[in-house]
Every structure is written in C-alpha cells, then in structure tokens.
Chain A
Amino acid sequence: MRKLLPLALILAIIFIGAYLITPKLTPQTDVRPLGKFYLENSYFGDYSAKSPEVVTSILWDYRGVDTLFETSVFFLAIIGSLTLFRLNKKQEKEAKQKTEEFSGGLTLVIKSVTKIIVAMILAVSASIALHGHLTPGGGFQGGSALAVAPLLIIAAYSKYALEEHGLDKTRALILRSIGLLGIALVALVPLLSGGYIMQNQPIFPAEIGGQLVSGSLIYYNFFEFLAVGAGFTAVFLLLAIPESVFRKFLRREAHE
C-alpha cells in the first residue's frame, strides 16, 4: 500500500495538471515549413531525392552528413565494447572450446522452432532494409532486426553452433567493416563526377531496369544493414562467452 501512494500521487498530479493546461494548449495541426519542404520535394519537386519515403530521403540525402556521423558514433560504440572485452589469440581459441558444463543447448522443440523463425527473420530484415526507400524501414531498422537472428541461435543452440558454421567474431567484424567501407565509398563517389559529398541526384540513376531504386539510397541502406547487423552480432558473440571462461582468463592474467 505504501508503495502505491507515490504512484497515485503522480497520476493525480498528471491528470489535474492536464485538466488545468488543456484550455491554454493549442494542438499542433500544421507541419513546420522545413517539414513541408521535404514532403513536397522528396519525389517530385526541384530538389528531389526520387524516393516516396520521405524519412529515408531525409536520412540519406537531405541530412546525409548527419547520418554519416551518426554511423561513426555507432562504429565507436561497438569498437569500445569490443575493446573492453578484448582477448588475445590464445584466449580467443580457448573461448571457442566447449566448456565442460555445456550440455548442447535447449530442447529439440525449441531448436526446430528457432530454425524456422531465424529463416523468417533473415527474410524480413532483408526486406525491411532493401525496401527502405519505398516503405517504412531502412538500413538501421533492418540491421537491428537482422541482429535478432544470431541472438536467437545463441539462446537456443549456443555460440559454438554459430562458430562451427563459420560465423565467428572476426568474420562478423569483417562484414561490419565491409558495410562501413561501402557507406564511405558511396559517399565519395559523387566527387569523381564533380558533385559534392553524399550527393544523390542526378549522379546515381533513379531507376535500374524499370525498378525505382532512388539513386544512392538503396546502396546506403544495404551497407548500413550489413554494418549494424554484423556489429551487433560481434557484440552478442562476445557477450555469449561463459562467465567461467572469462573468470579463468582474468585469474590467469592476475598471476602473470
């Protein structure tokens, strides 16, 4: 009862406060001029990004440099996590050995369901990323969805299952680097033909084979998808190393 009292007090303050400020509040019914500019120009207009999805065209075209630096913040955060848990070559090999208490993961039912769901997640995340210039979605959202697939495999099978099939931390980092490199290269391509950094139209073709690809947006989305998905996968692989193994490394380091 005593714990509920502050909660009730907060709720009462919110409702009374809302009742008091309601007459003074004018609800927002209009878009700001800048937002209106983006809405009008994203597909038609003189400053077109050739994408019906206004959010993606702001993300990778109108405000592209913002996103470029956001990606570098993401890069630094992942690198920081990997540095905190760094292992040398010998330890990395040892971390791939199964521990004695490892019993083979969860039951057969969960493993079978996981197989189906992981395939579906991969398809959906690729769809989110590659249709990012047409429908809600894009590289960031697709990459986050992609990172759920290895997480499910780690939970149902184990991290050893991922590593035995070739997806270890190094491979994930290489994939992530390919993604980041791709973003940097696509951003620099317009300089070759006299444009400015991250220019979209008219340097990149808006349609390929009759399909609307919105110039550079699809390339950015694809590479961001790779970078985000593989970056989180590398982090999850490190997090999945059993606590006992890490404690053994730390104890050994303290002795030396």
Chain B
Amino acid sequence: MNDVITFIWAVIILSLIATIVISLYGIARRPNLVKKLIALTIFGDTANLIVVLLGYRLIYPVAPPILPSLSKEALKQFVATAVDPLPQALVITAVVIGMAVNVLIAFAIIQIYRLYGTVDAGELQNKLLGGGEQ
C-alpha cells in the first residue's frame, strides 16, 4: 500500500516537472505573444504548486494549518498532523501578485496590438525595424 502512495507521489512530482518543461517550451518557441502569456501563467501556477507540495506531509490523517480548537490539549495532536504553513503563506501572495503582473503583461500585449496590428513576435520585429528588410 505504501509503495502505491509513493508511486503516485513520484508521478505527481514528475508531472509537475514535465508541465514546467512544456510551458518553458511554449514561452521560448511560440511566436504568438498571447500564447507566450498563457504559457507563462501555466509556468507560474506550476511553480506555486511545487512550493505548496514542498510543505505537504505524506501521513494519515493530515490536517490544514489551522488550530481546530483553542485549547492546549488539541495543540499536540495538531502539530503532529498539520502541514507546513510557511510555503502556503508564501504562495498566497504570489498567486495574487502573479495575477496583477499577468494583467500588466496582457495590457501591454493589447496596446502592442492596437499600435502595430499584430501579436506575432517575428512580424513585430520586422515592423519595428522598418519593415522591408527581413
């Protein structure tokens, strides 16, 4: 039984790493700026998920890091089962800040489209360098 759980654990970790590799490919190789942004959001969310995963505990039962009752007796049981709160605290801010930064990038892409009529990185380069010469 324990081996199965460890196997699923390994699958999760490798899937996250694969997602990061694919999203990096998307950021680097896709010419479309909107698709680059989508790949960037996937990259950011996967990174956040990995950070949360760092604080998880493979035990049963496992509890969220919130005191179930305000008594000293419950504290011992709580410390024995609760997951690590520190990665969660770091990710909470990162998610919202990431959203604000994505909005900023999206605004920049919309403005680029309005000014140059394209969101393709290659075409954009041609237009900025004065067209004609390839």
The B contact surface, by secondary structure, is helix
By the criterion CB–CB under 8 Å, are B57 and A25 in contact? Answer: no
Give the residues from 56 to 82 in chain B that come closer than 8 angstroms, CB to CB, to chain A. Answer: 56-59, 64-67, 70, 72, 75, 78-79, 82
Check B96 for interface membership: any CB of A closer than 8 A: yes
By the criterion CB–CB under 8 Å, are B75 and A70 in contact? Answer: no
CB distance from B54 to the nearest CB of A (A): 8
Q: Can you show 29 pairs from A to B with CB atoms below 8 A apart?
A: A14-B14, A14-B15, A17-B14, A18-B10, A18-B11, A18-B14, A25-B9, A31-B82, A31-B84, A35-B86, A39-B78, A42-B67, A53-B67, A54-B85, A55-B65, A55-B66, A59-B92, A63-B89, A73-B101, A74-B96, A77-B100, A78-B104, A80-B104, A80-B107, A84-B108, A136-B64, A212-B70, A232-B100, A235-B107
Give the residues from 26 to 73 in chain A that come closer than 8 angstroms, CB to CB, to chain B. Answer: 27-32, 34-36, 38-40, 42-44, 52-56, 58-59, 63, 66-67, 70, 73
Q: Which residues does chain B contribute within 8 Å of A140, judged by CB atoms?
A: 92-93, 95-96
Most buried by A among B5, B85, B99, B101: B85
Give the residues from 187 to 236 in chain A that come closer than 8 angstroms, CB to CB, to chain B. Answer: 212, 228, 231-232, 235
Check B18 for interface membership: any CB of A closer than 8 A: yes
* Cα of A15 to Cα of B12 in the assembled complex, Å: 10
By the criterion CB–CB under 8 Å, are A43 and B67 in contact? Answer: yes
User: A74-B96, A246-B114 are known contacts. Are A29 and B57 too (CB-CB below 8 A)?
Assistant: yes
CB distance from B83 to the nearest CB of A (A): 7
* Cα of A3 to Cα of B84 in the assembled complex, Å: 40
Check B97 for interface membership: any CB of A closer than 8 A: yes
Interface residues of B (CB under 8 A from A): 3, 5-7, 9-11, 13-15, 18, 22, 55-59, 64-67, 70, 72, 75, 78-79, 82-86, 88-90, 92-97, 99-101, 103-104, 107-108, 110-111, 114-115
Interface range on chain A (Cβ under 8 Å from partner): 35 or more
CB distance from B104 to the nearest CB of A (A): 5
* Cα of A56 to Cα of B67 in the assembled complex, Å: 12
Check A179 for interface membership: any CB of B closer than 8 A: no
User: A44-B75, A54-B66, A54-B85 are known contacts. Are A27 and B6 too (CB-CB below 8 A)?
Assistant: yes
* Cα of A63 to Cα of B92 in the assembled complex, Å: 13
By the criterion CB–CB under 8 Å, are A15 and B11 in contact? Answer: yes
* Cα of A228 to Cα of B92 in the assembled complex, Å: 13
* Cα of A67 to Cα of B92 in the assembled complex, Å: 10
